[in-house]
Chain A
Amino acid sequence: MTTGSADQGSRFLDAQLHLLDRQVLDVAGIPVAVVDDLELSDVPAGGELPVDTPPPVITALLSGPVLGTRIFGGRPPKSRRHRTPWTAVSKVGVVISLAIPGETTDLTWTERWVRDHVIARIPGGRHDPERKQNDGSTSKGGGS
């Protein structure tokens, strides 16, 4: 994995500074999400951690409707959070780049649903706009 820092072999990432609220781009450079939260591997909560407990790792970037919970507290239900596995991250810089196309993630399901169920039913909605042969030709001499 490459990062935005110089090649030093390792890098520190602060969650708030480097990861949260960052734009996520897919392998084609298309924006697919914003990082709203991070999922960590399980840690025994509520009990004393044994010495030499391995540190948790980031398992996924989470995106979802968090505006309400940021204002009023709480957290969105797990079913409303979209996971992007950390293994799909190829670069952490000004933006977070993925090594996979956005179509393969849950992040863009609303766009795909609207495309398939709404846009596709509109006449001409199943193909790209066609350019006419005489595009660019303009009529000269306005009528009187």
Chain B
Amino acid sequence: MIITDLLGARVLGPDFLGFVSDVRFWLDTKTIGQPAQLYGIVVSPHARSSSLGYERSGVRSPWPIAALVRWRHRGSFLVRWDDIERLDVRRINLRSGFTKVSSQLP
């Protein structure tokens, strides 16, 4: 599997929830050579495109672009790997009772 199979995929749970706008990995930096494992997918209800870095909570400039990007990605959320039930080409199904987590990066 390659990452472009996931980016832009439709997310259903069972109703349509949005598109995968990014894929988040978790990297253990304590020791050298650790793999980066998939932590979850960022689901955007309105846009397939990237958040251009504005998912970082401290980035708010230049404000017109920040406002536009935040508006396009309004309602975005993160779904952890454990809540993914099925992976198909360009389509991802979530388990019933999945949990929405804030997609913002610290």
Which A residues fall within an 8 A CB radius of B? 1-3, 5, 7-17, 20, 37-49, 51-52, 54-59, 62, 75, 86-87, 90, 92
Give the residues from 6 to 60 in chain B that come closer than 8 angstroms, CB to CB, to chain A.
7, 21-39, 42, 50-51, 53, 55-56
User: For A87, what are the chain B residues with a Cβ–Cβ distance below 8 Å?
Assistant: 33
Nearest CB in chain A to that of B86: its residue: A48
Q: How many angstroms from the CA of A62 to the CA of B38 in the assembled complex?
A: 17
* Cβ-Cβ contact count across A and B, 8 Å cutoff: 120
User: For B86, what are the chain A residues with a Cβ–Cβ distance below 8 Å?
Assistant: 46-49
Q: Interface residue tally of chain B, by bracket?
A: 35 or more
Nearest CB in chain B to that of A35: its residue: B3
The answer to whether A38 and B37 touch across the interface, beta carbons within 8 angstroms, is no
Q: How many angstroms from the CA of A16 to the CA of B55 in the assembled complex?
A: 11
Q: Which of A14, A17, A46, A58 has the most CB atoms of chain B within a 10 A radius of its CB?
A: A14
The answer to whether A11 and B29 touch across the interface, beta carbons within 8 angstroms, is yes
* Known interface pairs A10-B27, A13-B27, A13-B36; 5 further A-B residue pairs with C-beta atoms within 8 A, sorted by A's residue number: A10-B26, A16-B51, A38-B3, A39-B3, A41-B1
